[in-house]
Structure 1
């Protein structure tokens, strides 16, 4: 819980009592490598804060190809907000890439927590703003940069992912083939 409290503290200041309230609403879970937090067709019940580990959020295309939409590592949130907020079945999967630990909260618990600790709404808003901006940047890169430029940029900004994520998942996220990614990685910079 301390890791989450420190993360929240980067955006808003909580009183000791408000910090104690967090433990009443969040639950912890260990997730084995390749296990799912969410599968297509399920309603996303929880918002997950990653304490340790790495996840991917992906969907399956009509031809059965896995398309990675997002990765998540320590101190990042991961969920399908569309399903989480609407109660509709998800089109996505959230899978652990390595054995991981998460804290999670349900939509109802999150709303109750907002009533008890209103400044947490500011924390979540700020996180969503950053996530949305990152999504727009990713879309921009997909349209404007070559596959090699996308890889080099990603590796520069997120060097840890390049070592932690299997090459085929990284290629899917970057919108290139695993073979092309292998060629790019062999080239000197």
Structure 2
């Protein structure tokens, strides 16, 4: 199960056999059923999750009581409420499996020890967080600069297989409109 993570790490930095053995001691695998929660709002986020197989989503409940998806994580992506994870303050987000999912996680309490023993992982996570930040910036730009239909068309072009994987209401929430509007867009095609 750790092979997917090691392959991902090696896209950014190399690990020796001994370093992999050290890393093994910090990793925990976990399987989830569809709609199962990894994290709930009101808790401090104490784990960072790497998706081996499946799909997770990060969302919050808005002032109208609607779920607002802010991030998805599919194979080879990390997901956490990063603000809560770093500060160890209470989270306002939920992390839920959008489909049956297998993850590997690292606990927050182990990060300093892990980085002291395997310094190259600090570089790895810095690069991962940079990519996450870039993706978040682009998403915000698209929310403000494109029509809802343009956002759907572009997202569908970039991630056609993904559009088929997640429920319509989650995709609509992520793209910034209602499931009913998404149905109208799809019926035009």
State the TM-score, normalizing by the size of structure 2.
Answer: 0.97
Divergent runs of 4+, >2 A:
none
* Counterpart position of 1:87: 88
1:110 deviates by 2.0
Equivalent-residue separation in structure 1 for 2:119 and 2:3 (angstroms) = 20
Contact 2:55 2:72 in 1 (8 A): yes
Gaps of 5+ in 1: none
Q: Tell me the matched-pair count.
A: 188
Task: State the distance in 1 between where 2:89 and 2:55 align.
Answer: 25
CA distance in 2 between partners of 1:155 and 1:20 (Å): 40
Which secondary structure does the structure 2 equivalent of 1:25 belong to? coil
Shift of 1:20: 1.5
- The structural deviation recorded for 1:14 is 1.2
Q: Report the aligned-residue RMSD.
A: 0.8
The CA distance in 2 between the partners of 1:109 and 1:31, in whole Å, is 23
1:113 deviates by 1.1
Q: Give yes or no for contact 2:46–2:109 (8 Å, CA) kept in 1.
A: no
Alpha-carbon distance in 2 for matches of 1:154, 1:182: 15
Query: Distance between the aligned counterparts of 1:149 and 1:63, measured in 2?
Result: 25
Name the counterpart of 1:154.
155
1:187 deviates by 2.0
| Cα distance between partner residues in 1 of 2:99 and 2:170 | 13
Please state whether the residue corresponding to 1:59 is helix, strand or coil: strand
- 1:98 matched to 2:99: yes
Cα offset, 1:111, TM superposition: 1.7
| Alignment TM-score, normalising by the size of structure 1 | 0.97
